[in-house]
Amino acid sequence: MMAVLPISDESIRQAAQLLFRGGIVAFPTETVYGLGADAFNPAALARVFAVKNRPRFDPLIVHIAALEMLETIADLSLLDTAAQKNLAALAAHFWPGPLTLIVPKRDRVPDLATSGLPTVAVRFPAHDAARRLIAAATGAVAAPSANPFGYLSPTRAEHVAEMLGAQVDLILDGGPSSVGLESTVLDLCHGNPRILRPGGTPKEAIEALIGPVLPDTAADTAAADTNAGLVSPGLLQSHYAPHACLVAHNTESLYREPGETGAAFLFFDGASRDAWLSAHANPAGITLAVLSETGTLLEAAAQLFELLHALDRPDITRIHAQLAPEEGLGAAINDRLRKAEGK
């Protein structure tokens, strides 16, 4: 039977025991809630794929809780000198935190974790409970987001309980995720560093440290309608989607949108909501929500999945969402909104 337990020494010990025995445990991180399995246990990894209904071609992120663990799962000698330098700088600056690095994998990492790729995605999360759990287990916990594949990511234990419930052995409840968006995924294995997925570490911050990185857009276009030859499955076009039909609008098209009964509006900031309200006087039967009253990207990111979960009610059939400014965390917010569109 599934249990939801608050964070304590005892619940973390229990969760680590479950991981040692091949169990799967949902746990909080600063990005979103993860569905964790021992990264070295193929049977446990297979359960993660099954419970999420995640395609086997979509590799998992391996979470570590100490920098020394990196060398036990990654063969860094296979990186060229520039990549080694970038890795050292990025790890020193952004870890622990919402940045996932793609590095060459060691044989001991099961192929299931990496979907057969010779590389592995590694992250060192900042969340205290996540780190204590990983350290109390084998030191390497593979964890995708704790949601059914393609659906909204969970930023609360309640989201996990609703979406996966009894299929999970234990849910650790650490309250809402502070970043609220998945990690930025950065590939260091194929020449110039490339962002495979925008996320909680802004591109601008990465570039300030290591210089220009390639954007995710080129690969995005190449991957458009097919899974074949996908560089990274985070590039799938439909992802992070609510049950309701979501439409992503720029500010001008949002102001023109009158809405209809059963519609919800998700504004980026309070000023946009007020401007829309002054153009559309009578919003009866329409639900309004705002990512950040003051238009702060940090707050908007933290609220994105939270509000999309709240708006994904049976009586709401369409969500009109306003894109954020395309800078900093706004790029990651917009990536999620675009991929959530039109399901």
Other beta carbons less than 10 A from residue 218's beta carbon: 11
Question: Cβ of residue 133: shortest distance to ligand AMP, in angstroms?
Answer: 17
- The window from 68-76, 131-139, 229-237, 260-268 that contacts ligand AMP (CB under 6 A) reads 229-237
Q: How far is the CB of 332 from ligand AMP (least distance, A)?
A: 12
List all residues 6 or more positions away from 25 whose beta carbon is below 8 Å from its beta carbon.
15, 18, 19, 35, 36, 37, 133, 168, 169, 170, 171, 172
Q: How far apart are CA 296 and CA 286, in angstroms?
A: 24
**φ, ψ for residue 34, nearest 5 deg:** -105, 155
Give yes or no for residue 164 binding ligand AMP (CB under 6 A). Answer: no
Partner touching 174 among ligand AMP, Mg ion, none, CB below 5 to 8 Å by kind? none
Angstrom distance (rounded) from CA 275 to CA 12: 48
Q: Is 213 in the site for ligand AMP (CB under 6 A)?
A: no
Q: Which stretch binds ligand AMP (CB under 6 A): 57-65, 162-170, 255-263, 277-285?
A: 57-65
For residues 87 to 106, the per-residue mask of contacts with ligand AMP, x marking binding by CB under 6 A and - elsewhere, is: ---------------x----
Residue 234's binding partner among Mg ion, ligand AMP, none (Cβ under 5 to 8 angstroms by kind) is ligand AMP
Q: Which of 197, 203, 336, 339 binds ligand AMP (CB under 6 A)?
A: 197
Using the rule CB under 6 A, which residue among 29, 119, 155, 201 binds ligand AMP?
Answer: 119
**Which parts of the chain fold into alpha helices (H)?**
9-20, 42-52, 68-73, 81-94, 111-114, 128-136, 157-163, 203-210, 217-222, 251-256, 270-279, 297-311, 329-339
Query: Do residues 264 and 244 make contact, with C-beta atoms less than 8 angstroms apart?
Result: yes
Q: Which is nearer to Mg ion, 15 or 163 (CB)?
A: 163
Closest CA to 12 of 162, 173, 124: 173
Coil, helix or strand at residue 163: helix
Of the residues 17, 22, 42, 58, which one makes contact with ligand AMP according to CB under 6 A: 58
In whole angstroms, the minimum distance from the beta carbon of 33 to ligand AMP comes to: 11
User: Rounded to whole angstroms, how far apart are CA atoms 216 and 194?
Assistant: 7
The distance of Cα 292 from the centroid of its chain, to the nearest Å, equals 20
CA-to-CA dists, residue 295 to 167, 230, 272, 292, 323, angstroms: 38, 35, 9, 5, 12
Token pair in block for residue 229: 């030859």
**Judged by CB, which is closer to ligand AMP: 121, or 316?**
121
Q: Between 246 and 275, how does the x/- string for binding to ligand AMP read (CB under 6 A)?
A: ------------------------------
Specify the residue, 180 or 259, whose C-beta has the smaller distance to ligand AMP: 180
Taking the complex as a whole, how short is the minimal distance between the CB of residue 121 and ligand AMP, in angstroms?
A: 3
* Count of residues in contact with ligand AMP, rule CB under 6 A: 19
Per CB under 6 A, does 139 bind ligand AMP?
no
Centre a 10 Å sphere on the Cβ of residue 289 and count the other Cβ atoms it contains: 17
* Cβ atoms of residues 31 and 181 within 8 Å: yes
Return the SS3 of 24: coil
With CB under 6 A as the contact rule, the residue among 114, 184, 201, 322 that binds ligand AMP is 114
Footprint of Mg ion (CB under 5 A): 145
Closest residue to ligand AMP using C-beta atoms: 234
Query: For binding to ligand AMP (CB under 6 A), which residues are involved?
Result: 58-61, 102, 114, 117, 119-121, 144-145, 182, 185, 196-197, 232-234
